Structure 1
């Protein structure tokens, strides 16, 4: 008997928990600001409706129809497509190894917040004192300040996964997601009451309509939607495979998509209100303090917290606690993809699969907890996202729409169980719009990165050496693909083949 969600709300909270991650808080606000401010919401909404939600519907339907992890679902759809599912699983595996380390940083900083342990030089503290940064290409020793919270992160994640879908993942997300929303609402309310918050919000929302005439802005919108919704990670296929037979997949996809976007908007308000406060304190324009990614979370925000007029320790703790909650809900979903994939492929129990898959990921994550871990993390994250997640997404949608011609059967299945019927727009989005946009994104990424290999002026990504980029970037992305192909050649366990995990009509 296949595991199932206890309630529809449990599934939606888990799907939203997977979609809402670190990128919503530290990637979206800066992306929107740099691509037209308030005007960016036009291409963003268009991308959500023409790529984000259609892809969510497709993956929800695949998981629900074929009742398996991504590899098993693709295998049941067409045996020749199994490697796509495994490729996505191994991309998720790689991401889990370093994503866990960033959550560990956030745990440390939530404690540092109470006495502003980072001092006046927040950048120097992050690199020199906390991470004990060393040059690219060198591992150095394990950093105890990262190792201890990393152990906590994996203990929570693997503990939740051991308990299963209903008693573990669902209960965890019922706690994490409401807590995350409440905490971030508190952050936003406090941030918008700070001096200078209005200037920050004006910078965030002020529309630059000229920007949206640029193709790059539209590509940025599609990229943001694609990376923030956990599409092509094998997550949504796995999660939807635990849905009861009578489940409204279309409605669930709309709720998940708009919930994720709503949180991104909330994050933008909180972040830019705080940036406006920081700019007013420093007497500089808002654009001079705008940052994204690690720099925003672990350099700029500690500076903001230090300038707080009152209860700075509490505000700092809440901000980093929100990162921890967003990160944990996503890490649990990412790890579930390979836990279920290994369990079904080899016919082993969930406990053994968690111990093997999760244990191996936890062990590999130790290399990011070294003095040279930040450089490896930076390169691996860039290449596995761009040439892993995005490329898997392109291959997945092209294979299903163009080669396997599965859009009609999937549409019929979704329409048979959903209140919102899928019309021609869904096929046009997945068969034409999404492949064109993702195809252009991949072409441009390959062009830029391959040109850098021969351009002595620009050099490699972030100026890393050829050897480092190959070993920590290209090779990491390549290994995920090769591992996916190898695993697809291994025979399925007979127990998995004989299990009646889905109706005969779905075959």
Structure 2
């Protein structure tokens, strides 16, 4: 199937903004502040380290693969790695879709809080007055919308239809045009929020806490895993999303410079979001100890409970809260678009028209996203299983590059049309070294156990229904791999074989 000009990005900025849209999302405003709040500067240092040794090399490889083979993830991966490893491309696709199905719920949460802020604008009683009467008001609202709430379910379904509508217009008129508005707006709003938070009393203490390094924490396996998975989660490394986006790139697109701009832009957005939310926690907490205790609890609702409380302290805060949650929605939505496109692109490889591919997007996302929309525990389980699964998907991409020859891969696929190039030695070492690192971290992570019963419950049964157990994670990974291995020949013939 030939690729027309309208199926490609119109310029370098088109693909850079799409890459930033893919990377900058709820992971920056919702996930990063929560983890930085739990682990402080130790986490941030490791997170930056993994940007250079894990995420950037993987993104470079993904960009090159997509640009070369011009297919969806399964087809492109199989053409590089070889027929018998097609199942690995299938695992990458399913892992990313696993994230996409629950990630779409974050867009619904953002809309709920946008509506919440809008209602406060016209309420006879201000949010600050409501909090005086009931200090648990915000926590109760969060609990009500994140569990068995049909309005939340309806909004996430609406967002899927909205994403399909945008992408149905094509790459240039849909994805590219949307990101030209979404990304600049988001950066401006984040800078405004950070400035407000840092100017509050005790706000600077949040900044000090955020960048304080505790050397003893380096022995904690969970911090290493969280730092790597957050880097991968936020930049999109190992997702196959960059592979999907670059399949629409122009022939002379420069890989290395585009990748670095996307990666640094993403980390900048994360740091600015952290500088907005963590100082707000310290400014609003009754004591330093109270702020630290709240942050280290790892509360998933951090962004949703602190930001409204922060704005309630300002004159006109309801308007600022409205703007923030609009920005959060746009950020989450801009990342949801390439996730939908990943699914649609694979459907295109199967021979479906764009319209039929998008119909299947709607059906699959509604069915498989519903459990996360209905249950916060199910959402948390999927976030844990597939977030850590990004280490496995990254390992599979590393394997394909090393198998093809990392030096040859870089010279023939990455350096073509690139004025800006990374060291060949750096790339080769990262490809090989990260395979060892990934295997070690997965083993280290499994050896720790983050559930009271990591493998078997109190009755001796395989603990597959626990939110954070090793058993639930490995069971879901193994099920996807088994399906992929059994269907390997079929997958290759459908997605990768030249027709």
- TM-score scaled by structure 1? 0.85
Q: How does 1:10-89 map to 2 (within 5 A)?
A: 10-37=14-41, 41-77=44-80, 78-89=82-93
What CA distance in whole angstroms lies between the structure 2 residues aligned with 1:475 and 1:495?
Answer: 26
Which residue, out of 454, 458, 461, partners 1:452? Answer: 454
Q: Which residue of 2 aligns with 1:391?
A: 392
In 2, Cα distance between equivalents of 1:446 and 1:214: 13
> Per-residue CA shift, 1:113-151, capped at 9, x if unaligned?
242488631223322x334x4xxxxxxxx6322123223
CA distance in 1, matches of 2:293, 2:307: 14
Tell me, yes or no, if the aligned pair for 1:376 and 1:472 is still in contact at 8 Å.
Answer: no
Mapped contact 2:78–2:496 kept (Cα < 8 A): no
Give the root-mean-square deviation of aligned CA atoms: 3.2
Alignment partner for residue 258 of structure 1, among 260, 264, 274? 264
Identify the match of residue 187 of structure 1 among 190, 193, 198: 193
- Residue 95 (structure 2) pairs with residue 94 (structure 1): no
My pick for the range that moved more, 75-84 or 64-73, is: 75-84
Looking at structure 2, the residues matched to 159 and 126 of structure 1 have their Cα atoms a distance apart, in angstroms, of 29
Is the contact between residue 381 and residue 467 of structure 2 (CA under 8 Å) also seen in structure 1? Answer: no
User: After superposition, what is the alpha-carbon deviation per residue over 1:135-179, rounded to whole angstroms, capped at 9, x for unaligned?
Assistant: xxxxxxx63221232232112111112112111111111121112
Whether 2:353 is the aligned partner of 1:349: answer: yes
Indicate the residue corresponding to 1:428 in structure 2.
429
Describe the SS at the equivalent of 1:453.
coil
- 1:365 lines up with 2:381 in the alignment: no
Say whether residues 1:412 and 2:412 are aligned partners.
Answer: yes
**Structure 1 counterpart SS, 2:411:** helix
3-state secondary structure, aligned to 1:27: helix
Query: What is the SS of the residue equivalent to 1:294?
Result: coil
What TM-score does the superposition give when structure 2 sets the normalisation length?
0.86
Alpha-carbon separation, structure 1, partners of 2:358 and 2:264: 31
Looking at structure 1, the residues matched to 378 and 49 of structure 2 have their Cα atoms a distance apart, in angstroms, of 35
**Paired residue for 2:172?**
166
User: CA shift at 1:216, angstroms?
Assistant: 6.2
Match of 1:120 in 2: 135
Residue 80 of structure 1: how far off its partner (Å): 2.2
Once the two structures are overlaid, the 10-residue window that deviates more, 16-25 or 78-87, is 78-87
Q: Which residue of 4, 7, 10 maps to 1:6?
A: 10
The answer as to 2:298 corresponding to 1:296 is no
Q: How does 1:206-221 map to 2 (within 5 A)?
A: 206-208=212-214, 211=217, 218-221=224-227
Matched residues in 1 for 2:429 and 2:468: separation? 41
User: CA-to-partner distance for each residue in 1:371-420, whole Å, 9 max, x for gaps?
Assistant: xx21211112211222x32212112213431x443542343321222112
Q: 1:193-218: CA deviations, max 9, x gaps?
A: 22221222222234445655877655
- Residues 213 and 240 (structure 1), Cα distance of their counterparts in 2 relative to 1, 3 Å cut: same
Match of 2:319 in 1: 314
- The 1:272–1:496 alpha-carbon spacing in structure 2 relative to 1, beyond 3 Å, is closer
For the 8 Å contact 1:87–1:485, the answer to whether it is kept is no
Contact 1:25–1:267 (Cα < 8 Å) also in 2: yes
Give the conservation status (yes or no) of the 8 Å contact 2:66–2:244. Answer: yes
Kept in 2: contact 1:92–1:335 (CA 8 A): no
Query: Structure 1: how far apart are the matches of 2:43 and 2:385?
Result: 26
2:163 is the alignment partner of 1:147: no
Partner SS state of residue 301, structure 2: helix
Instruction: Give yes or no for the alignment of 1:130 onto 2:145.
Output: yes
Instruction: Indicate yes or no: 2:454 matched with 1:438.
Output: no
Q: Is the 8 A contact 2:56 2:237 kept in 1?
A: no
Q: What is the deviation of 1:252?
A: 0.9
Q: Is the 8 A contact 1:164 1:350 kept in 2?
A: no
Counterpart contact for 2:30–2:303, Cα < 8 Å: yes
Question: How far did 1:44 drift?
Answer: 3.4
The answer for the alignment partner of 1:138 in structure 2 is none
What is the deviation of 1:9? 0.5
SS in 2 for 1:452: coil
Q: Does 1:329 align with 2:337?
A: no
CA contact (8 A) 2:77 2:400 kept: no
Q: 1:180 to 1:313 in 2, by over 3 A?
A: same
How far apart, CA to CA, are the structure 1 residues paired with 2:476 and 2:287? 41
Cα pair 1:24 1:228 within 8 Å, conserved: yes
